[in-house]
Structure 1
Amino acid sequence: MHLSKILCPLDFSGAAVPLLAYAAAMAEATGAELCLLHVQEPQLALNGSMPVPDAALELARYRLLAEQAGARRVTTQLCQGDADREIVRVAQRSGADLIVIGSHGHTGLTRFLMGNTAEHVVRHAPCATLLVKPHGDAAYRQSA
C-alpha cells in the first residue's frame, strides 16, 4: 500500500501520545506526510464543562513529538465543529490515504450519551482507517 498522506486527529487526551507514536512510525516508514488535526467542538468550548487548551500550542507540541519520532513532513490543522464530521471532511478534502484515530473504549451508556467519534469516522471515512485502542492495540479497516 502506498501512503502519501496520513491524517491523525488528536484530542489532547492521555491516549494522544501513543496514538501519535503509531502515526509517526507509519509516516516515517512510508515517507508520507503526517497531518495532525484538532477539532474544537463549539458546545464544549462554550459551556465550560471541559477546559479547552490552547490548541495551536498543543498542536505545535505534538508536531515536535512527531518529528522527534521520525516523521519527516508534519503539518497541523485546526478546525471547529463536530469532530466526527470534521475529521471525515478534512480526510476527503486533503486526499488522505489513511486516518490513524484513537478510541477511548467507551461502552454502554457513556458511549450512547457521548457518541463515538471513532466509530463514525471508521464508518464514513473516504480512506483506510487504523483504530488505536487505549491500551495500544490497533485494528485496521480498509474502506471499500
Structure 2
Amino acid sequence: MSYQHILVAVDLTEECDPVVKRARALAEGTGARLSLVHIVEPMAMAFGGDVPMDLSQLQQQQFDQAKERLEKLLAKFPGLSRDDAHLTYGQPRQEIHTLAKDNGIDLIVVGSHGRHGLKLLLGSTSNDVLHGAPCDVLAVRLKEASAAEKAKPQDDIPGSTAF
C-alpha cells in the first residue's frame, strides 16, 4: 500500500525532529504529500476567588509562540510547505482526526515516548490519536532524554501537548 497524504503531529520541541524525519522519509519514498499539525490546547477559564481571570491574552501569546516555533521547524526542514502546516486550537485527538478526514490523510505519524505501564507503547496523546483514527497511525519511538538534557531548562509553550 502506498500512502498519498501523510500528516505528522508535532509538539514543536526538538524531540519532534525524528518524527518529522521519519514522516518525510516515508513521504519521499512513496511520493506522498506531507502535512504538519500542531494543536494548541485552549486554556480553561481560571478563577481567583470569585473573580474570573481573562486568559485571552495568555492564549494569544501561547498561539504566537507556537507560530514562531512552527516557522523555525519549517526552516529546519526545507521542502515542507507552509500551505501544509496547520496550527489550530482544540483537543489534539479531535483536531487531528478532523484534519485527517477533511484532507484525505491516509497516514498519521506521531511521536511515542514509550514510558511505562499502558504508556509503554504509546504516550497518552498518541494513544488518543490511535483510537478512532480514520486511517493508519505510525508511532515513532522517541529516545529518553539523558540526565543532562532533563536538567537543561526548556522554554516550553504552556498548554502545548507533547505527542
TM tier, smaller: 0.7 to 0.9
**Any idea what SS the aligned residue of 1:15 has?**
helix
Q: CA deviation at 1:72?
A: 8.1
Q: Deviations over 1:56-114 (max 9, x none)?
A: 2222222233336xx68972011101112111111111110100101233445xx6xxx
Structural RMSD (CA): 3.1
Amino acid at match of 2:71: A
Quick check: which has more Rg, 1 or 2?
Answer: 2
Q: Given the superposition, is the C-alpha separation of residues 75 and 26 from structure 1 closer, same or farther in structure 2, using an over 3 Å criterion?
A: same
Q: Where does structure 2 lack aligned partners over 5 or more consecutive residues?
A: 45-55, 145-163
Q: Where does structure 1 lack aligned partners over 5 or more consecutive residues?
A: 137-144
1:86 aligns with 2:95: yes
Q: CA deviation at 1:34?
A: 0.7
Alignment match of 1:59 (pick from 63, 70, 89): 70
The equivalent of 1:96 in structure 2 is 105
What is the TM-score normalised by the length of structure 1? 0.74
**Any idea what SS the aligned residue of 1:11 has?**
coil
Q: Distance in 2 between matches of 1:25 and 1:106?
A: 25
Q: Distance in 2 between matches of 1:62 and 1:74?
A: 14
The equivalent of 2:34 in structure 1 is 34
The equivalent of 1:134 in structure 2 is 142
Alignment match of 1:75 (pick from 68, 84, 104): 84
Matched pairs, number = 128
Alignment match of 1:125 (pick from 133, 145, 163): 133
Is the CA contact 2:5–2:106 (under 8 Å) kept in the aligned structure 1? Answer: yes
What is the TM-score normalised by the length of structure 2? 0.66
